[in-house]
Amino acid sequence: MRVTIEINGRTVTDEVEDRTLLVHFVRENAGLTATNIGCDTTSCGACTVLLDGESVKSCTVLAAQADGHKVTTLEGLSGPDGEQHPLQRSFRQQHGLQCGFCTPGMIMASASLLAHNPKPTRDEVREGLEGNLCRCTGYHNIVSAVIEASGQEVDR
């Protein structure tokens, strides 16, 4: 089947099998590899992207379901001149990453969270990111990164 998806402002049209997952379309057909494949069972959140502005785990969305929709990946958050998004800067500044495998999904889920709740509390950030797993950081610095990106003071 033929699908057309706008990914990071670029239209990508390709023939795919009916069972092709969005995560594979993004990585293989669009060539955007920041979106990671972690578990294929929605458990880890490494594949999180924005679908029409809403956070989704792309390992559970068929490419056909995204046909005609807009997808934003980590690569699409940067400004036109390559300037980092505030979340990308705050994750670096607050040491919200270690190995980096979960980082794209964490940042995309955080972008969705901040779009719905621009000034979350630490507890609201933890709740908003509970479907995204990190095996390295213990989450404290990730939460601090989201708080900083929201323009709030980071408590230490």
Q: CA-CA distance, 80 to 66, in Å (whole number)? A: 24
Q: How many domains does the chain contain in total?
A: 2
Specify the pLDDT at position 13.
98
Q: Which residues pair with 13 in a beta bridge?
A: 4
State the amino acid at position 86 in one-letter form: P
Q: Range of 134's domain?
A: 86-150
72/7 same-domain check? yes
Specify the pLDDT at position 52.
98
Whether 48 contacts 105, CB under 8 Å? yes
Specify the pLDDT at position 156.
67
Specify the pLDDT at position 119.
98
Specify the pLDDT at position 129.
96
Give the number of other CB atoms < 10 A from CB of residue 90.
Answer: 24
101/137 same-domain check? yes
Kindly report the CATH number assigned to the domain that includes residue 14: 3.10.20.30
Whether 40 contacts 128, CB under 8 Å? no
Tens-level pLDDT at each residue, the chain (156 residues): 999 999 999 999 999 999 999 999 999 999 999 999 998 788 999 999 999 999 999 999 999 999 999 999 999 999 888 899 999 999 999 999 889 999 999 999 999 999 999 999 999 999 999 999 998 878 999 999 999 999 999 986
Sign of CA dihedral 142, 102, 4, 83: positive
Q: 76, 106, 140: which is the final residue of a domain?
A: 76
44/90 same-domain check? no
Q: 53, 76, 99: which is the final residue of a domain?
A: 76
* Segments of the chain assigned E as strands: 2-7, 10-15, 48-51, 54-57, 70-72
Specify the pLDDT at position 39.
87
46/99 same-domain check? no
Question: Global pTM?
Answer: 0.94
